[in-house]
Amino acid sequence: MIRWLRRVLPRWHTVDREIEEEVAFHLDSRAADLVMEGLPEAEARRQAEREFGDLQAARAQLAAIDRAQGDKARRGALLMDLAGDVRFGLRLLARSPGFTALLLITLALAIGANSATFTVVRSALLRGLPYLEPDRLVHLWETHAGGRSEASYPDFLDWRTERGVFAQLEGYNASDVTVARPDGGEIRLGGRVTPGFFELLGTQPILGRSFRPEEDVPDGAPVVILSYGYWMEVFGGDRGVLDSTLTLDGRPSRVIGILPPEFHFAPIGTADLWLTLGRSAERRGQRFNHWVNVVARLRDGVTPAGAAVSLNALMNRLAASYPGSNQGRAALVVPLRQQLLGDIRPVLVALFVAMGLVLAIACANIASLLLARSLGREQEIRLRSALGASRWRLTRQLLVECLILGVLGGALGAMVGHLGVRLVVTSLPEALLDHLPYLRRVSVDAAVLGYTMLLALATALGFGLGPIAHAIRADGRGLVVRRSGVTAPGALLRLRDGLIVGEIALTLVLLTGTALVGRSLAALLSLELGFEPDQVLTLRVALNGPRFEANAVRQQFMDRLLDGVRALPGVSASGAVANLPLQGGNTNTFRVEGEPEAPPASRLEATTRATAGEYFRALGIRLVEGRVFDATDDSTHRLSVLISESLARHLFPAGSAIGRELRFYAFPESTWQIAGVVGDVRTGPLDAPSPPTIYFTHRQYPAYRMSVVVRSAVEPAALSREVRRLVRELDPAVPVYQVNTLKAEIGAAPAVAARRVPLLLIGAFAGAALIVAMVGLYGVVSFNVARRSREFGIRMALGAGPEQILGTVLRYGVSLALAGLGLGLLLALGLGQLLRGMLFGIGPGDPIAYLAAGSLLALVTLLASYLPARTATRVNPTDALRAD
Amino acid sequence: MANALELLQGTLDLLILQALAAGPAHGYAIARAIRRASDAVLVVEDRALYVALHRMEVRGWIGAEWGLSENNRRAKYYQLTRSGRRALREKTADWTAYVDAVFRVLRAREATS
| pLDDT exceeds cutoff 60 at A472 | no
Cβ neighbours of B69 in A, within 8 Å:
25, 29
pLDDT digits (tens, 9 = 90+) for A157-170: 999 998 889 999 99
Beta bridge mates, A333: A140
A10 to chain B: closest CA residue: B66
pLDDT score recorded for residue A557: 94
Asked if A686 and A720 count as a contact pair (C-beta separation under 8 A), the reply is: no
CA nearest to A524, candidates A722, A761, A651, A686: A686
Per-residue confidence at A595, pLDDT binned at 50, 70, 90?
confident
Residues A879, A796: Cα–Cα separation, whole Å? 12
Per-residue confidence at A465, pLDDT binned at 50, 70, 90?
low
| pLDDT exceeds cutoff 80 at A536 | yes
pLDDT score recorded for residue A577: 95
Would you call A628 helix, strand, or coil by DSSP? coil
Least confident of A20-34, A104-118, A597-611: A104-118
Least confident of A141-145, A611-615, A749-753: A749-753
pLDDT digits (tens, 9 = 90+) for A802-828: 888 888 888 888 899 999 999 999 988
Contact A62 B66 (CB under 8 A): no
Mean of all residue pLDDT scores within chain A: 82
CA distance between the termini of chain B: 33
Cβ neighbours of A16 in B, within 8 Å:
none
Cβ neighbours of B31 in A, within 8 Å:
26, 30
Residues A256, A210: Cα–Cα separation, whole Å? 7
Contact B50 A23 (CB under 8 A): yes
Residues in Cβ contact with A100 at an 8 Å cutoff, skipping those fewer than 6 apart: A93, A94, A405
Q: How close, in Å, is residue B67 to chain A by CA atoms? A: 11
Residues in Cβ contact with A841 at an 8 Å cutoff, skipping those fewer than 6 apart: A519, A520, A523, A524
pLDDT score recorded for residue A188: 87
Residues A828, A119: Cα–Cα separation, whole Å? 26
Residues A681, A687: Cα–Cα separation, whole Å? 12
Angle between helices A446-473 and A97-121 (to 10 degrees): 140
pLDDT digits (tens, 9 = 90+) for A209-255: 999 988 888 877 889 999 998 999 899 989 999 999 999 888 899 99
Contact A61 B46 (CB under 8 A): no
For A256, counting Cβ atoms within 10 Å of its Cβ (0-12 exposed, 13-18 middle, 19+ buried), the class is: buried
Per-residue confidence at A390, pLDDT binned at 50, 70, 90?
low
B22 CB neighbour count, 10 Å cutoff: 10
| pLDDT exceeds cutoff 60 at A527 | yes
A18/B contact by beta carbon, under 8 A = yes
- The full DSSP string for B47-63 is HHHHHHHHHHHHHTSEE
Per-residue confidence at A850, pLDDT binned at 50, 70, 90?
very high
A29/B contact by beta carbon, under 8 A = yes
Contact B28 A30 (CB under 8 A): yes
Residues A395, A385: Cα–Cα separation, whole Å? 11
Largest CA distance in chain B: 60
pLDDT digits (tens, 9 = 90+) for A254-280: 999 999 988 888 777 678 999 998 777
Rg of chain B (C-alpha set) = 16
Q: How close, in Å, is residue A15 to chain B by CA atoms? A: 12
| pLDDT exceeds cutoff 70 at A125 | no
Higher model confidence: residue B56 or residue A144?
Answer: B56
CA distance between the termini of chain A: 48
Task: Mark out the alpha helices in A731-846 (DSSP H runs).
Answer: 742-747, 750-787, 789-797, 802-832
- Portion of chain A with pLDDT greater than 90, in percent: 30
Q: How close, in Å, is residue A52 to chain B by CA atoms? A: 4
- The full DSSP string for A397-449 is HHHHHHHHHHHHHHHHHHHHHHHHHHHHHHHS-HHHHHHSGGGGG----HHHH
| pLDDT exceeds cutoff 60 at A80 | no
pLDDT digits (tens, 9 = 90+) for A126-146: 666 778 888 899 999 988 766
Per-residue confidence at A562, pLDDT binned at 50, 70, 90?
very high
CA nearest to A647, candidates A625, A614, A617: A625
CA torsion sign, B82 to B83 to B84 to B89?
A: positive
| pLDDT exceeds cutoff 90 at B35 | no
Average pLDDT over residues A114-123: 76
pLDDT digits (tens, 9 = 90+) for A343-387: 566 667 777 777 777 777 877 777 777 777 666 666 666 666 666
A48 to chain B: closest CA residue: B46
Q: Are strands A251-258 and A223-226 parallel, antiparallel or unpaired?
A: parallel
Cβ neighbours of A51 in B, within 8 Å:
45-46
Phi, psi dihedral angles at A776 (to 5 degrees): -65, -45
Q: How close, in Å, is residue A88 to chain B by CA atoms? A: 22
Contact B73 A18 (CB under 8 A): no
| pLDDT exceeds cutoff 50 at B46 | yes
Per-residue confidence at B91, pLDDT binned at 50, 70, 90?
confident
Average pLDDT over residues A658-676: 91
Contact A33 B73 (CB under 8 A): no
Cβ neighbours of A36 in B, within 8 Å:
none
Residues A258, A245: Cα–Cα separation, whole Å? 14
pLDDT score recorded for residue B3: 43
CA dist A774 to A222, A370, A856, A863, Å? 66, 16, 12, 9
Residues in Cβ contact with A243 at an 8 Å cutoff, skipping those fewer than 6 apart: A254, A255, A256
Q: Are strands A604-613 and A693-697 parallel, antiparallel or unpaired?
A: parallel
Asked if A793 and A138 count as a contact pair (C-beta separation under 8 A), the reply is: no
Residues in Cβ contact with A54 at an 8 Å cutoff, skipping those fewer than 6 apart: B47
Q: Could you say which DSSP state residue B42 is in? A: B
pLDDT score recorded for residue B14: 87
B interface with A, Cβ–Cβ < 8 A, is 26-28, 31-32, 45-48, 50-51, 54-55, 57-58, 63-66, 69, 73-76
Contact B47 A26 (CB under 8 A): no
pLDDT score recorded for residue A70: 46
CA nearest to A665, candidates A587, A584, A577, A578: A587
What is the value of pTM for the model shown? 0.62
Per-residue confidence at A884, pLDDT binned at 50, 70, 90?
very low
pLDDT score recorded for residue A482: 40
Asked if B40 and B76 count as a contact pair (C-beta separation under 8 A), the reply is: no
Per-residue confidence at A687, pLDDT binned at 50, 70, 90?
confident
Determine the length of chain A. 884
pLDDT score recorded for residue A697: 95
Residues A207, A845: Cα–Cα separation, whole Å? 59
pLDDT score recorded for residue A193: 94
| pLDDT exceeds cutoff 50 at A312 | yes
Asked if A625 and A676 count as a contact pair (C-beta separation under 8 A), the reply is: yes
Q: Which of A19-33, A132-146, A192-206 has the highest mean pLDDT?
A: A192-206
Average pLDDT over residues A83-108: 78
Would you call A599 helix, strand, or coil by DSSP? coil
Least confident of A6-15, A101-110, A253-262, A844-853: A6-15
CA dist A447 to A109, A110, A440, A450, A882, Å? 17, 15, 19, 5, 54
| pLDDT exceeds cutoff 80 at A308 | yes
Task: Mark out the alpha helices in A37-142 (DSSP H runs).
Answer: 41-52, 55-67, 78-95, 97-121
Cβ neighbours of A23 in B, within 8 Å:
50
pLDDT score recorded for residue A181: 81
Asked if A742 and A537 count as a contact pair (C-beta separation under 8 A), the reply is: yes
The partner residue sitting opposite B27, judged by closest CB among A22, A55, A68, is A22
A27 to chain B: closest CA residue: B28
For A872, counting Cβ atoms within 10 Å of its Cβ (0-12 exposed, 13-18 middle, 19+ buried), the class is: buried
| pLDDT exceeds cutoff 90 at A851 | yes
Residues A511, A502: Cα–Cα separation, whole Å? 14
pLDDT score recorded for residue A306: 92
pLDDT digits (tens, 9 = 90+) for A475-512: 444 444 343 344 456 666 777 788 889 889 989 988 99
Asked if A521 and A755 count as a contact pair (C-beta separation under 8 A), the reply is: yes
Residues A675, A611: Cα–Cα separation, whole Å? 14
pLDDT score recorded for residue A841: 83
Phi, psi dihedral angles at A294 (to 5 degrees): -120, 130
Asked if A570 and A643 count as a contact pair (C-beta separation under 8 A), the reply is: no
